[in-house]
Amino acid sequence: MAHATDAGAGAPAGATPSGEALLDIQHLSITFPGSGGLLAGGRGPDVRAVVDASLHVDDRETVGLVGESGSGKTTMGKGVLRFVRASAGTIRLGAYDVTNFGRKVPRSYRREVQVVFQDPVASLNPSIIVGDLIGEPLKLHFGMGAAARRRRAAELLEQVGLAAHHLERYPYEFSGGQRQRIAVARALASEPQLIVLDEPVSALDVSTQSQVINLLEKLQGETGAAYLLIAHDLAVVRHVSRRIYVMYRSRIVEEGPADRVCEQPAHPYTELLLASIPDADPVKQRAQRALRQKLSVDQAAAVTGETPQQGCPFSNRCPYVMASCREQFPDWTAVQGGGQVACHLHTEGPTLAGGPVTSLSVPA
């Protein structure tokens, strides 16, 4: 586990974005009203999907937001897209104060921020030919006529590795990877500054995944768009991200440069995510299995249990848990090598075997 340092202790992740921050999220919380039918006795408790989360994406940067299902990462992406409203905190993109938008989101903002979803089958209207799917944003945002739209749509298709003759086809005529290329071409059509990539390859087979990821990297070099890459698979996120934020049960718990987060994780949950990445080496496989078993001390609580109402959200699953972990969410502590972690192991000093926490050494 990476060393923590004193500098920056107490500062929330992302509180000090670089001067070039394109997207700047500060202390974002998103809460949904609880639901419950008559049988359930009326309205249930509110759902805190995102709690006090800060994150920034610089111009032309790829930032990964990783966490398991239900961690709140997709809701954060929806907040940036203004599909859902913030309950507290701020979201800014360049000069746009997203949290202060009224009922109607400015069309210019819709042009600047695009999204590619996990499932292109659901996101591409099956009854519209590809030429019109890509042409729609060209007409809406740039007022292009039919001939210009067709020319530009053909260019975009070629940019994503398809051909002009595909313009006349329907989405169902393509493979999953090809459909995702069409979705990317449609997102690029409006020349956005930021693309939210929400699990863009998780529905694809492994070889197609790497093709689409390589394509996204190539396109970023060509277009300069920044990416917020949301995924549950840390291996995918690491491959393309410059920095990574790790989210668990509505909270960001660690952030930092991709290499540091993946080679010297500071939060036990990040360790667990890393131990879930398949490795071809049998020795490493055994070590990962042991680590997973020790870190998933209470799988039932992890999967079905309530998120702890206070303290660290990982406290019902963490083998390092201390009394303070159940009482308050940890302060942010800067980590050697870059970034920050929210974990009492780093704010209360070394707790294991009387020495500094330098590698994951889960108590037996």
Q: Which residues bind ligand SF4 (CB under 6 A)?
A: 267-268, 312, 314-315, 318, 320-322, 325, 330, 343-345
Q: Which amino acid is at 289?
A: R
Exposure string over 48-80, b if 16+ CB within 10 A, otherwise e = bbbbbbbbbbbebbbbbbbbbeebbbbbbbbbb
Is residue 59 within 8 Å of 78, Cβ to Cβ? no
The distance of closest approach from Cβ of residue 349 to ligand SF4 in the complex, given in angstroms and rounded to an integer, is 12
For 142, counting Cβ atoms within 10 Å of its Cβ (0-12 exposed, 13-18 middle, 19+ buried), the class is middle
End-to-end Cα distance, the chain? 16
Nearer to ligand SF4 among residue 120 and residue 265 (C-beta): 265
The distance of closest approach from Cβ of residue 327 to ligand SF4 in the complex, given in angstroms and rounded to an integer, is 10
Nearer to ligand SF4 among residue 9 and residue 164 (C-beta): 9
Helical spans, DSSP H, in 201-240: 206-223, 234-240
The distance of closest approach from Cβ of residue 252 to ligand SF4 in the complex, given in angstroms and rounded to an integer, is 13
Nearer to ligand SF4 among residue 150 and residue 267 (C-beta): 267
Nearer to ligand SF4 among residue 56 and residue 249 (C-beta): 249
Is residue 13 within 8 Å of 350, Cβ to Cβ? no
Q: Which of 111, 153, 152, 160 is nearest to 130 (CA)?
A: 153
Is residue 232 within 8 Å of 202, Cβ to Cβ? yes
Nearer to ligand SF4 among residue 145 and residue 354 (C-beta): 354
The distance of closest approach from Cβ of residue 342 to ligand SF4 in the complex, given in angstroms and rounded to an integer, is 7
Nearer to ligand SF4 among residue 238 and residue 317 (C-beta): 317
Cα 214 from chain centre? 18
Nearer to ligand SF4 among residue 183 and residue 343 (C-beta): 343
Q: What φ, ψ does residue 81 adopt, rounded to 5°?
A: -80, -5
- Tell me the C-alpha distance between 69 and 232, whole Å: 7
